[in-house]
Each structure stands twice: as structure tokens, then as C-alpha cells.
Structure 1
Amino acid sequence: MSDIIHLLPDSVANQIAAGEVIQRPASVVKELVENAIDAGATEIQIFIKDAGRTLIQVVDNGKGMSETDARLSFERHATSKISSAQDLYSLRTMGFRGEALASIAAIAQVELRTRRAEDEIGTSILISGSKVESQEYVSCPAGANFMIKNIFFNVPARRKFLKSNQVEFGFIMSEFERMALVNTDIAFKLVHNDVELYNLPASNLRQRIVSLFGKNLNQHLLSVDVQTSLVSITGYIGHPDSARKRNAWQYFFVNGRYMRHPYFYKAVISNYEQLLPAGEMPHYFLHIQVDPSTIDVNIHPTKTEIKFENEQPIWQILSAAVRETLGKSNAVPTIDFDTEGAPEIPILHHGQQVEPPRVSYSPDYNPFASSSAKPSNHSHRVDYDWTQLYKDFQSNKDMPMTPEEESGEIKIPSKINCQTSVENMTKVSSEAIPLSIPIQETSRLIDTGIEHLQIKGRYILTSVKSGLMIIDQHRAHVRILFDRYMSHIQDKKGVSQRLLFPEMIQLSPAQGAELLSVQEDFEALGFDISDMGGGAYAVNAVPAGIDGLDVSTLIDKMLETATQRGGDVSVDVHEVISLALAESAAIPYGQILSPLEMEKLISDLFSLTAPNYTPDGKTVVSVIGDDELQKRFR
């Protein structure tokens, strides 16, 4: 029997390794930019086509490579970062394994042009599927120029499972933001499909945050700066007013490397627990510097997880730093130390005798002796004489009945204002309410106008054959508006309301790219938005019927929802946009409705094909059956 164990060819081994290192186009961008950073580049340009499927090009002005280094860089475990295992505990570079370029070359068509500053001529290498096609001299600028074409061209299964261009480019944007935030001394440029999205000059962290995420965030940034012998923590956290329910910008960087760390995340979030409504998350951009020998970054293929030797004390320092910053910003409620009403403490001089305290009392005082004691201000329980109450009730039965009571008629106002909430309804004496209502008279109640009742500005109660129906007014309106907006998008017949003066809004490049991808849906809803350049946009028209809404906040929310939920290929972008607008324009909780408004809302709701739930699955209508009502009064 022949031997069955054999060595895999390098090309196959590289493809297997690529499965861990190169998961999607964003992984290629990350690895190439990290190499440029390690090469000492001060300017990095990234060109993307079709979300990285067709082309990923990274150009830098770093050290460049010699002819030999350029060829050797595509071999597995070929690196300039370390030379022994001991170097793993003193890493100051982004890369160190020497697997990235070999993995990229195994699943794509790669062209490299590179030159060192001291060389007169550079080197060009073409590699396809780990096979070197050519290597020749070429004239090129100092630095490196990597062009990655047709990613996963030889691994159809991997290419098939790439998501939509919108989703894949979202991952690229996330990697770009992380690297731009941690390397503020490097100028970055990002171009997608020949459209320049970012052109970031070298700057400080605050300016870089504002350039990436918009000017509106600037006023909400709170500076963090803590220096200890164990750790240095600098950066910014967001004021509680800037918190978001989804898509909060949360970044940890350790020694210049992006990191996910649930334990440190709790150190930050725990200080916001009493300051934010449930479900809202704060922003933070925190840089942590520690001794490289006290951490291990070689525990995950993507290097986004780090083990700390001094995890517990760093947690405490981080938590204290966030708490102190929030306190200085007046975001945390302060204690009032006003001395008004405090007891007066006498000042004693040297040699002065201290008079012992005395308690005066009357030996003749007996609190139980007098029945005319002064009433107490303290609350007390009232002990009813139930026997007397019963006698009074019996005596009332012997009183002569009024003509109305003899006839069994009940006088009810001809018109009742249902606009008044239940809490504010006039209290009626219990003596005016009969103990029972004759069955033959119950129909008169329906004719009085009490068909719908609003509770707490939130729910609408109405009677149905099977019992009592409760409707959530906000969710009901969301359901109605969602179906209306979906119809507008499908028919492209949204009604616009022109603004007297265009409203100017400022969007980040990422938001601008998102707006471009969903612009047709916005126009179908009734929006008219013009790009004025430099991140400025003019809103010329909005959908009819959304008066009173802040246009800038509305568009921000719609784009945020589209970015967050549009990332799921199973979710229709039309639905995402329609739902975001419906949630913003729907009747808010607390708004008092007139009887006609309640009638219109209920009528519109039950004219829909699916009135019971909101588009995202929340309950709109709940019915308490007659059986359940009877159980409550047994």
C-alpha cells in the first residue's frame, strides 16, 4: 500500500492561508495600507473599482524595495519586521508574519511597481495565482504601487459568496476609517469608481475625526488624556447628547493598532449607563499606549484581538479616565452642597466652657389624657367604620327615587371631548354613577361619540365585537406611512413640497457616497437634493406632509438606517428608506388626537393588508377578549 501523506504545493497552501488572512476586498486594503505605513509612507492613495472586485490599487511614497526584495516579498513567511521569536514581544510594526502578499498573490492578479529613493530605476512584477508571469525594470516614482485585479478569480466559491458592492465597500470604508484615525500624521486619499471620497491631509486626531465623520460631531467631543507609568490613554469620547441607537463610532487603538476588546468596552460603557436611554450607545476614539512586551497581538489572523498582561489595572484606569472626563463636561449630575437649612454650629474659643446639652420636659404632660390633641402633620391610616357605612347605604335605599331613576333613564352629555386625556378628565362623584346600567340602555352610550378613547397620548382604545382593542398610535401611523412611501417609490409618484429657501446640510464623504447610492429612492419619495461640493448639499424639496421635522436630522437618520440595515442583502433598500422616513414622520407619543383624527387613523390602518405589525415586526394592535375582561372582574 502506497503512502497517503504528501506535501501540498505552495500555490494550494497559499490559497488555504489566504482563507484566513484575505477574507474579502477590505482585507486586501488593510494589508497593503499597513505595509505602506511600515514602509514609512507619509502619503497613501487608495483607488477602488467595483468595491474591490475589479481593482484595488494602493500607492505610497515609502521606502520602496530593491529588485530582490520585491521578488522575495511574495514568498510565504518573508518579512522585514522580525528575525526571531523574541521580536514578537517588542513589535512596533503593523505586519510581522510575512503572509499577506503571498496570500493576496494566491487569489488575485497582482502587479507591483516599486523603487527605492537611491535607485535610478524600479522593478515591475506580474503575478497571477502565485505564479510569477514576469519581472522587469521600469521607470516609476519612489515608493510602491500595488494593483490587485480580479480578486478570487481562481476561487469561484469565494468570489460567489462576496456580498453586494454596497456591503463590500462598507467594509473597505470601515478599514479605511480605522487606519486613518490611528495614523493622523499620514495624508490619505480614497477614490471609488473615479469619485474622490476622502482627501485627508496630515492633521491631529480631532481634525481627522471631524474630516471622517462630519463637523456636527466636533462640538460633542470630550478630550481624554491620562498618563501613568503603566498606560497612556488619549483621545476623545462623545458627549451623551451625541449618542446613537445604531452605528455608533467606537474605536480602541493599542500601540497604533485597531483592537476589539469587550472588557475595555465595558469600562467605557459603564460610565454612561445612567446618562443614556436604553439602547443608545456613545462614541469614543481612544488610543492606548503600553509597553509592547506586556501585550500579545499574535492570537488572531486579523490581529484585532490583543491579550494584556495588566488587564485589570488598565480597566480601572480607563474607567476612571472616562468618568473624570464626563464629570468635567457637566454630563454627570452634580450634588448640591448648598448649606441653606443646615444646622448652625457654634464657634468655641480657646478656654470657653462647653455647656452640656439639656432636654426640657414637663412631668405633668400626658399625651393620652386629652382628646383635643392637636392634629398631626404626619400621614395616618383612616380606619373606616364599615358598620356605619353599611347602615348609611341601607338608609339611602329607603330614600325616594327621582323621576329619572324611576324611568331607568341616564342623562349623558350630548358631546364628549375625547381629546382630553384620561388623566385630565373631570372627577365625578361616585354618588352620581349608578350601580348598574339597564341592558336596553347600553346602546345609547355608543351614540354619544365615545367610540375611541386615547390613553396617555400613546394608545387608542376602541370597542370591537370580540372585546376591547388597543392600538399603539405611533406604530399604527408608521405602518400607514410605510405602505404609502413604498407605493411612492414603486410608482415614482412621491409628492414634493418645495422649500422657500433651500436648506443647506453637511454630509461626510461616507454619507455622501450612501446618498448617491440611494438617490433615486430619495427622489421617488419627494426629496430634491443637490450636491454643492465640499460635502455641502442643498435640500430644495422634501416629501409633502413632514412639516416641522428637522431636515438635516431626518436625512442623517435615513442615511444611517440605510447604511446599517442596507448591509443585509436580504433587506430591500426601498424598505429601509421608507421605514426610516415613516418612523421620523409618524405621530409621536404624547400627541393628543381629536376624535376625527383617531377615526381617520383607525380607518387608514385597517384599510391596509397587514395592519397588525410594523414593518420591523413590532405589535400595532392588541385585543383583550371578552373572556379575559370577565376574568378580571371575578
Structure 2
Amino acid sequence: MPDIIHLLPDSIANQIAAGEVIQRPASVVKELVENSLDAGASHIRIYIKDAGRTLIQVIDDGKGMSGTDVRMAFERHATSKIKNADDLFSLTTMGFRGEALPSIAAISQIEVKSRREEDELGTLVVINGSRLEKQELISCAEGTSVSVKNIFFNVPARRKFLKSNETERRNIFSEIERIALVNPDIEFTLVENDLETLHLPKAGLRQRIVQLEGKSVSQQLIEINEETTLGKIHGYVARPEFARKGRASQFFFVNNRYIRHPYFHRAVMTAFEPLIAANEKPGYYIYLQVDPDTIDVNIHPTKTEVKFENEQALWQILMVTVKESLGKFNAIPSIDFDTDDAPEIPIYDPSRSAPMPRVNVNSGYNPFHNPRPESKSFSPPAFGWEQLYQGFEKEKELKPEVEIHVQGNLFKSPGTNSDHPETELYPEHYQYKQKYILTSVKSGLMIIDQHKAHVRILFDRYMEQIRHRKGVTQRVLFPEVLELSAAEAASLPSLKDDLEALGFELSHLGNHSFAVQGVPSEIENLDAALLIRTIIGKSMETGSDVKAEIQESMALSFACMTAIPYGRILTSEEMLLIVSQLFASKTPTYTPDGQRVISMISDQDIEKRLQ
């Protein structure tokens, strides 16, 4: 029997490796831009067509490569970053494995132009699916230009599973955002379909954050800075009052490398816990500088997972640093120097003597005297039990025809009989703790969460508006300016039609700024810009590419923001309306995200509790 185990050809091995390293067009952008950073570039230009499906081109003004180096760069595990195993524990470059370029070349058509400063001519290399097609000398600018065309052209299954252009474009923005945040001293330009959509000139860290997140962020940032023997922590956290219920900008960087670290995230959340609600998320941009010997980045191909030698100690330092910065911010009161009602301070005159303050004393006051209470003709009620019933009206007798009328309106379709006797309500509803609606049913006591019930009602209404484009817009007299981050602005086009269906009207002001010209007619006293940012953030968190799921996420976000809040006192008419509209829904017992709206306490349970 012949031997059956054999070595795979390099082209097949590279395609397999590409499955881990190159997952989507954004992965190509990340790898090429990181190579430009390692080459010492000061200006990096990124050109995209069709969200990276047709073309991804990265041009830098870095050191460039010789003809031999250009060709060697596409061999597996060929790299200039490390020479031996010990170098893995003292990494200062973004790349080191030599996997990215061979993996990209295996699933695309790639063209590289590169020239060093000391060379008169540069080198052109053309590779098609790992196969070298051309290598020649050319005249080109100093630096390197890499063009990646038709990604996954020879792997149809991978190309078929790419997301929509909006989703892939959003992922590209996210990668550029992470790289730009950690390299504020480098200029970045993004051109999409021959239109410049992002330009980030060189700046300081705070200015770079503002460039990406919008001008409004500048007033929200609190600086953090701490240096210990284990490393240095610096960056910014957002003020607690600007924490969001939806997506927030949260970034960790270690030695200029973006990472995901749930453990360190928990440290930041612990510092914020006393200052924000449980469902709110603070923004932060935190940079850790540690000895490369104490971390291991060689865990995952994307290099976003890092192991730390002193993880617990760093957790404590991070938590204390953030908490201390928040404490300093909260301890300094704001002073308004423009106030009109400031007290007058008299001018000091040394020739005038200051009068002694006078204190009036009641000489007949006896602190031990206890006046006898007035006599009454009745004794007070024992234990104050009557107060238990304050606010509750005596239950009225119901006429049968009134009960039938209410039941028919709330829970029956015309001409049908109720199949659910447990939902046949009496007309009285009571509000408990300004949070729940209590109502008596034939089988016991029904408890309805007023906020969740309204979310269910509004979600159904907004989904109907989105599907049938029935939203009513109310024009605003003074349009509100909406400042979006680069990633949020990239997500907006895919949501714009559905936002307009809800009743929002937006106009583009340039860059990442928009004017809110109109809002849904049913919202009052709500921040329209915050609503839109929350909807965009939820959509980005969901990451769905299915239109129906995007619409559901949008409707749910809008419903949660506009629903009746806890703590609001409801009238009998409002409670009746909520109950009737809730049971008109196809799924009244749960919110769209699966939370219970209704709970029942049976008569038997009540009787057991009172035995």
C-alpha cells in the first residue's frame, strides 16, 4: 500500500493560513497599515473600492524595500522583525510572524511597488494567487505601495460569506480608528471610491481622539496618568455623566497595540460603578506601557489577545488610577465667573472697627421641659395599621355589563369569545412603587412592568412604521447638530432610510457632522441626537447584516429610549391604555429582547401566604 501522507503545496498552505489571518477586507487593511508603521512611515494613504472587495491599496512614505526583500516578503515566515526565539519576548514591532503578506497573496491579486531612499529605481512585483507573474525595475516614489485586488477571488466560499458593503466598510473604519488612536503622530488619509472620507493630520493624543470621535468629546475627557515599577498607564476616560446605555468608545492599548481584555475592562467598570447606572457604559482610551518581557502577544493570529505576567497587580493599579482621576474631577466644583447675582464683597477699611456679632438668647428656655400633649376624646389606632391602606380606593361593585364591555375592548376581537379567562380583567388597575401595574384577574393577581410593557407596545408600532414608511416628521425650528465618530458615520448610510421611516430627517453638514432637521412627532423633551447615536451604537453592537435584524435593533433601541420610565405616576386612563395595547400585541408576555413583562400570582398562592 503506498504512503498517503504528503506535504501540501505552499499555495494551499497559504490559503489555509489565510483563513485565520485574513478574515475580511478589514484584516487586509490592518496588516498592510501595520507593515507601513513598522517601515517608519509618517503619512499613510488608504484607497478602498467597493468596501475592499475590488481594491485595497495602502501607500506609505516609509523606508521601502530592495528588489530581493520585496520578493522575500511573500515567502512564508519571512520577516525582518525577529531573528531568534528570544526576540518574541522583546517585541517592539506590530508584525513578526511573516504570515500576513503570503496569506494575502494566496487569496488575491497583489501588486507591490517599493523603493529605498538610496536606490534610483524601485521594484514592481505582481503575484496572482501565490504565483509570481512579474518582477521588474520601475521608476516610483520612495516608500511602498501595495495594491490588493479581488480579495478571495479563488476561494468562492469565503467571498460568498462576506457581509454587505456597509458592514465591511464599518469594519475597515474600526481597524483604522484603532491604529490611528495609538499613532497620533502619523497622518492618515482614507479614500473610498475616489472620494476622501477621512483625513487625520498629525496631532496630540487628545486632538486625535477629537478628530475621530467629534468635537463634543473634548469636554468629556478626564486625563489619567500613573507610573509604577510595573509600567505606565495614561490616557483618558469619559466623565460619568456622558456614559451611554448603548455602544461606547472603549479602547485598551498595550505597547502601542490594540487589545481586548475583559479583565482590565472590569477594573475600569469597578472604578465607575458608584457613578453610573448598571446598564450604562463609560468611554475610555487607556494606554499601558509595560516591559515587553512581561507580556505574550503570540497567542492569537490577530494579536488582540495578550497575556500579562503581573495581571492582578496591573488590575489594581488600573482601577485605583481611574478611580483617583474620577475623584479629582468630582472634587473640583465648577465656578461660574459670569453670574449676575454674585454677592458684593465690601472694601476693607482699616479705620473702621468691626462690630461684635449679637446673639439673642432665650433665658427662659428649658431643654428638659416636655410639654404634655393635648387630651383627645379617642385613643390613637394601634400600630398605625390604617396607613397601610392609604392611597387605595374601596373596590367598587361591578355591573356585569360594564365588566363585559371592558373585557371586550381589551382582550377580545369582535364576535369572538375569550379563550383565556386568566386575562379577563376587572376595570381597576393600581400602580405599585411607580413601577408596576397591579390588576385583578379571575385566577389571581397580575403584575405588569410598566416600562417593559410600553417597550413592547412601542416596538410593535415602530416596526410597523419602518415596514410601511408611516412615520410622521415634525420639523424643528432650530436644527440640532449631530457629531458622529468616523465609525458611526460609516454606519449611518445603512440606517438612514429606516431612520427617515421613523420620522427623523437628517442633512449632511460635511465630514462627520449632520443636522437633525426633523424628529418623530410622538417624541417630546428627548435629545434627538442622543437617540440617533444610541440607535447607531446598538446597530454596531449587533453587527448584523440582515435587514430585518437591523430594523428590529433600531426599533428596539428607539422603543427603550422613548418608553414610559420607572418612577412616573400613571393615571387610571394611562394604565388602562397600556394594558389594552399590551394585550393587542401578538407577544404581550415578553419584550422583544426576551425579558418578562407579566407575572401572575394565583389565588392559591395568596391564600397560602396568609395561612
TM category (shorter chain) comes to 0.7 to 0.9
Instruction: Report what 1:551 is aligned to.
Output: 528
Contact kept? 2:544, 2:550, Cα under 8 Å: no
Instruction: Report what 1:189 is aligned to.
Output: 189
Indicate whether 1:443 and 2:398 are aligned. Answer: yes
Give the Cα–Cα distance (whole angstroms) in 2 for the partners of residues 331 and 269 of structure 1.
20
Give the Cα–Cα distance (whole angstroms) in 2 for the partners of residues 246 and 166 of structure 1.
20
Indicate whether 1:272 and 2:249 are aligned. Answer: no
Indicate whether 1:57 and 2:34 are aligned. Answer: no
Q: Secondary structure at the match of 1:302?
A: coil
Task: Tell me: CA distance 1:226–1:423, structure 2 relative to 1, closer, same or farther (3 Å).
Answer: farther
For residues 408-557 of structure 1, what are the structure 2 equivalents within 5 Å?
425=390, 442-443=397-398, 451-557=428-534
For residues 585-600 of structure 1, what are the structure 2 equivalents within 5 Å?
585-600=562-577
Task: Tell me: CA distance 1:182–1:544, structure 2 relative to 1, closer, same or farther (3 Å).
Answer: same
- Single out whichever of 305-314 and 492-501 deviates more from structure 2: 305-314
Task: Tell me: CA distance 1:109–1:463, structure 2 relative to 1, closer, same or farther (3 Å).
Answer: same
Q: Secondary structure at the match of 1:166?
A: helix
Instruction: Report what 1:363 is aligned to.
Output: none
Give the Cα–Cα distance (whole angstroms) in 2 for the partners of residues 242 and 53 of structure 1.
37
Give the Cα–Cα distance (whole angstroms) in 1 for the partners of residues 95 and 28 of structure 2.
13
Task: Tell me: CA distance 1:293–1:478, structure 2 relative to 1, closer, same or farther (3 Å).
Answer: closer
Letter in 2 for 1:259: I
Letter in 1 for 2:40: G
Task: Tell me: CA distance 1:73–1:495, structure 2 relative to 1, closer, same or farther (3 Å).
Answer: same
Task: Tell me: CA distance 1:320–1:503, structure 2 relative to 1, closer, same or farther (3 Å).
Answer: closer
Give the Cα–Cα distance (whole angstroms) in 1 for the partners of residues 331 and 497 of structure 2.
41
Give the Cα–Cα distance (whole angstroms) in 2 for the partners of residues 86 and 552 of structure 1.
52
Instruction: Report what 1:177 is aligned to.
Output: 177
- Single out whichever of 230-239 and 156-165 deviates more from structure 2: 156-165
Contact kept? 1:48, 1:57, Cα under 8 Å: yes
Indicate whether 1:290 and 2:245 are aligned. Answer: no
Task: Tell me: CA distance 1:523–1:485, structure 2 relative to 1, closer, same or farther (3 Å).
Answer: same
Contact kept? 2:54, 2:151, Cα under 8 Å: yes
Instruction: Report what 1:66 is aligned to.
Output: 66
Task: Tell me: CA distance 1:566–1:289, structure 2 relative to 1, closer, same or farther (3 Å).
Answer: closer
TM-score by length of 1: 0.79
Letter in 2 for 1:238: A
Task: Tell me: CA distance 1:169–1:244, structure 2 relative to 1, closer, same or farther (3 Å).
Answer: same
Give the Cα–Cα distance (whole angstroms) in 1 for the partners of residues 259 and 251 of structure 2.
8
Instruction: Report what 2:218 is aligned to.
Output: 218
Q: Secondary structure at the match of 1:443?
A: coil
Superposed CA deviations along residues 587-609 of structure 1, whole A, max 9, x for unmatched, are 22222222222222222222233
Superposed CA deviations along residues 99-138 of structure 1, whole A, max 9, x for unmatched, are 1101110111111122223333322221111001222333
TM-fit CA distance, 1:521: 0.7
TM-fit CA distance, 1:60: 1.0
* Structure showing greater Rg: 1
Contact kept? 2:164, 2:545, Cα under 8 Å: no
Task: Tell me: CA distance 1:332–1:104, structure 2 relative to 1, closer, same or farther (3 Å).
Answer: farther
Task: Tell me: CA distance 1:310–1:593, structure 2 relative to 1, closer, same or farther (3 Å).
Answer: closer
Contact kept? 1:252, 1:285, Cα under 8 Å: yes
TM-fit CA distance, 1:86: 2.7
Give the Cα–Cα distance (whole angstroms) in 1 for the partners of residues 11 and 28 of structure 2.
18
Instruction: Report what 2:247 is aligned to.
Output: 247
Letter in 2 for 1:583: C
Give the Cα–Cα distance (whole angstroms) in 2 for the partners of residues 533 and 197 of structure 1.
10
TM-fit CA distance, 1:331: 7.1
Letter in 1 for 2:127: I
Instruction: Report what 2:560 is aligned to.
Output: 583
Contact kept? 2:21, 2:302, Cα under 8 Å: yes
- Single out whichever of 301-310 and 549-558 deviates more from structure 2: 301-310
For residues 398-417 of structure 1, what are the structure 2 equivalents within 5 Å?
none
Give the Cα–Cα distance (whole angstroms) in 1 for the partners of residues 203 and 56 of structure 2.
26
TM-fit CA distance, 1:44: 0.9
Q: Gaps (5+ residues) in structure 1? A: 334-372, 376-388, 390-421
Q: Gaps (5+ residues) in structure 2? A: 334-367, 371-381, 404-425
TM-fit CA distance, 1:530: 0.6
TM-score by length of 2: 0.82
Letter in 2 for 1:581: F
Superposed CA deviations along residues 436-482 of structure 1, whole A, max 9, x for unmatched, are x9xxx943799799622222222222233333222222222222222
Instruction: Report what 2:79 is aligned to.
Output: 79
Superposed CA deviations along residues 553-610 of structure 1, whole A, max 9, x for unmatched, are 1111111122222436486222122222222222222222222222222222222332
Task: Tell me: CA distance 1:588–1:262, structure 2 relative to 1, closer, same or farther (3 Å).
Answer: closer
Give the Cα–Cα distance (whole angstroms) in 1 for the partners of residues 470 and 369 of structure 2.
77
Give the Cα–Cα distance (whole angstroms) in 2 for the partners of residues 109 and 374 of structure 1.
98
Instruction: Report what 1:127 is aligned to.
Output: 127
TM-fit CA distance, 1:549: 1.0
- Single out whichever of 511-520 and 271-280 deviates more from structure 2: 271-280
Contact kept? 1:271, 1:323, Cα under 8 Å: yes
Contact kept? 2:466, 2:551, Cα under 8 Å: yes
Alignment length, in residue pairs? Answer: 541
Q: Secondary structure at the match of 1:578?
A: helix
Task: Tell me: CA distance 1:269–1:474, structure 2 relative to 1, closer, same or farther (3 Å).
Answer: closer
Task: Tell me: CA distance 1:8–1:557, structure 2 relative to 1, closer, same or farther (3 Å).
Answer: same
- Single out whichever of 270-279 and 13-22 deviates more from structure 2: 270-279
Give the Cα–Cα distance (whole angstroms) in 2 for the partners of residues 116 and 633 of structure 1.
88
Letter in 1 for 2:177: E
Indicate whether 1:104 and 2:104 are aligned. Answer: yes
Letter in 2 for 1:143: G
Q: Secondary structure at the match of 2:565?
A: coil
Give the Cα–Cα distance (whole angstroms) in 2 for the partners of residues 23 and 475 of structure 1.
39
- Single out whichever of 309-318 and 497-506 deviates more from structure 2: 309-318
Letter in 2 for 1:49: K
Give the Cα–Cα distance (whole angstroms) in 1 for the partners of residues 331 and 4 of structure 2.
68
Task: Tell me: CA distance 1:424–1:156, structure 2 relative to 1, closer, same or farther (3 Å).
Answer: farther
Instruction: Report what 1:143 is aligned to.
Output: 143
Letter in 1 for 2:136: E
Task: Tell me: CA distance 1:606–1:89, structure 2 relative to 1, closer, same or farther (3 Å).
Answer: closer
Contact kept? 1:477, 1:587, Cα under 8 Å: yes
Task: Tell me: CA distance 1:105–1:331, structure 2 relative to 1, closer, same or farther (3 Å).
Answer: farther
TM-fit CA distance, 1:171: 2.7
Superposed CA deviations along residues 358-394 of structure 1, whole A, max 9, x for unmatched, are xxxxxxxxxxxxxxx999xxxxxxxxxxxxx9xxxxx
Contact kept? 2:482, 2:514, Cα under 8 Å: yes
Contact kept? 2:177, 2:486, Cα under 8 Å: no
Contact kept? 1:423, 1:456, Cα under 8 Å: no
Superposed CA deviations along residues 141-197 of structure 1, whole A, max 9, x for unmatched, are 221111112222222232233333333333322221211111111011223344433
Letter in 2 for 1:598: M
Contact kept? 2:173, 2:490, Cα under 8 Å: no
Instruction: Report what 2:327 is aligned to.
Output: 327
For residues 293-372 of structure 1, what are the structure 2 equivalents within 5 Å?
293-330=293-330
Letter in 1 for 2:563: A
Task: Tell me: CA distance 1:332–1:564, structure 2 relative to 1, closer, same or farther (3 Å).
Answer: farther
TM-fit CA distance, 1:216: 2.6
Give the Cα–Cα distance (whole angstroms) in 2 for the partners of residues 315 and 609 of structure 1.
47
Give the Cα–Cα distance (whole angstroms) in 1 for the partners of residues 291 and 581 of structure 2.
65
Contact kept? 2:170, 2:490, Cα under 8 Å: no
TM-fit CA distance, 1:225: 1.6
Task: Tell me: CA distance 1:526–1:59, structure 2 relative to 1, closer, same or farther (3 Å).
Answer: same
TM-fit CA distance, 1:279: 3.2
Task: Tell me: CA distance 1:579–1:279, structure 2 relative to 1, closer, same or farther (3 Å).
Answer: closer
Give the Cα–Cα distance (whole angstroms) in 1 for the partners of residues 64 and 455 of structure 2.
57
Contact kept? 1:296, 1:307, Cα under 8 Å: yes
Superposed CA deviations along residues 524-573 of structure 1, whole A, max 9, x for unmatched, are 11111111113321211111110211111111111112222243648622
- Single out whichever of 88-97 and 28-37 deviates more from structure 2: 88-97
